[in-house]
Amino acid sequence: MAVPRRDKGQSLSGSRIALAVVVGVLLGFVFSVLYPHGFFSSDLANPHRRIANSNLQTGSSSCESPERIKMLKADIVSISEKNAELKKQVRELNEKLQLAEQGQDHAQKQVLLLGKQQKAGPFGTVKGLRTNPTVVPDESVNARLAKLLAEVAVHKELIVALANSNVKAMLEVWFTNIKKAGIRNYLVVALDDHIVDFCKSNDVPVYKRDPDSGIDSVARTGGNHAVSGLKFHILREFLQLGYSVLLSDIDIIYLQNPFDHLYRDSDVESMSDGHDNMTAYGFNDVFDEPAMGWARYAHTMRIWVYNSGFFYIRPTLPSIELLDRVAGRLSREPNSWDQAVFNEELFYPSHPGYDGLHAAKRTMDIFLFMNSKVLFKTVRKDPALKKLKPVIVHVNYHPDKLRRMQAVVEFYVNGKKDALDPFPDGSDW
């Protein structure tokens, strides 16, 4: 009786082996169909092929169990859902791209640039965006200048002034007092070879641009206004390289380090030509037209212009757009004054036929960043204000610049109390 049991056991064992082989072959066939590119390949690499293969298998009832069919159907549903989600994402991206290209919605473009939309907070807590992101530095613009700025700038900031031989005497007063104030990050953009030699002989950082016939003729012989207009073209490379620039005219006396007194929250931070709080920071000016009767009074908003000879500009897209706009207009309108164009581009709003500049701006403190009208008309006559030490004094209101610059040095640096007295409030003509 033992022998038949052993034969029966051997037969059963052989049947199990045969069944295992058949199951293995079937599983190999199934996986070779379902995963033709390998078992670990991405399901999303070719979803249509997987769906087709899955359908093939579900149609072959002789090869698959009901459980396997359910699994394959579930895979089809999952892949279909993923496919629908991808189509939705593509559709949303296309819509955002169209909005950006059409330029019809500035708020939406700002969301695309700066991040997700946000809910408004409680009353009184909401603050709009003021500080635009800086551009990505591009050293390919000017590798020689990039190397120099890396040596001169401090925290990616520096004072920049343009000068030719016509202002040599004022330039010496300018950089002498910068050194006395302990300022290290400054640079003279020389517009002729004489200024290059002069700066080098006085250990002053200097840079001379590569030859440019369109600029060099103005640079060599131009007066104050002509040379001033060049800065909007020249400064562009500084901003493209990722540096913030404190643009300075030469008729300025530095008494403190201006970088200790900046806010850096706007694209442009400028000194004002205003001489008091109203004219510098803005006021409601009422226009009276009696013929209009009941509506005779019209309210207008007034502010005195920013001074284009002293402003801090950050390397942002609106800042570079400002430089491009001003430089473009000055080239097309050669009789224009750069300061007028500078302010028009900064302040004019968008209106039919014109897209205004969307740049953030801040007015500097008029008693820290002082123009010469404030000094000679108000400050020198007020005992309390005379005790204040400004950051800079800009002799922009008076043509006898060098004499008044020297007097400012005598008064604030050397302590000569009557140094400002001989001068009239305005000019002699």
Tell whether pTM > 0.95.
no
State the average pLDDT for the chain: 85
How confident is the model at residue 70, as a pLDDT? 81
The number of domains in the chain is 1
Q: Is residue 50 part of a domain?
A: no
Q: Is residue 408 part of a domain?
A: yes
Strands (E), 277-354: 283-288, 297-302, 306-313
Q: Is residue 116 part of a domain?
A: no
Q: Is residue 30 part of a domain?
A: no
318-341 mean pLDDT: 95
Tens digits of residue pLDDT in 351-381: 999 999 999 999 999 999 999 999 999 999 9
How confident is the model at residue 44, as a pLDDT? 42
**Counting beta carbons within 10 angstroms of the beta carbon of residue 292, is it exposed (0 to 12), middle (13 to 18) or buried (19 or more)?**
exposed
Q: Kindly state the helix (H) or strand (E) to which residue 157 belongs, with its residue range.
A: strand 157-163
Distance in angstroms (rounded) separating the CA atoms of residues 264 and 244: 9
Q: Is residue 396 part of a domain?
A: yes
Report the range of poorest mean pLDDT among 93-107, 150-164, 205-219, 374-388: 93-107
| Whether the predicted pLDDT of 170 surpasses 80 | yes
Q: Is residue 293 part of a domain?
A: no
How confident is the model at residue 9, as a pLDDT? 45
Residue ranges making up the domain that contains 381: 139-274+306-414
Tens digits of residue pLDDT in 257-285: 999 999 999 999 999 999 999 999 999 99
60-76 mean pLDDT: 73
Q: What distances in angstroms separate CA 277 from CA 14, 197, 388, one per listed residue?
A: 104, 43, 17
| Whether the predicted pLDDT of 103 surpasses 60 | no
CATH number at residue 352: 3.90.550.10
Q: CB 43: neighbour CB atoms within 10 A?
A: 12
Residue 7 tokens read as 């034969």
| Whether the predicted pLDDT of 125 surpasses 70 | yes
Q: Is residue 284 part of a domain?
A: no
38-41 contact pairs (CB < 8 A, 24+) = none
What is the total residue count of the chain?
A: 429
| Whether the predicted pLDDT of 71 surpasses 60 | yes
Q: Is residue 155 part of a domain?
A: yes
Tens digits of residue pLDDT in 219-257: 555 555 556 778 999 999 999 999 999 999 999 999 999
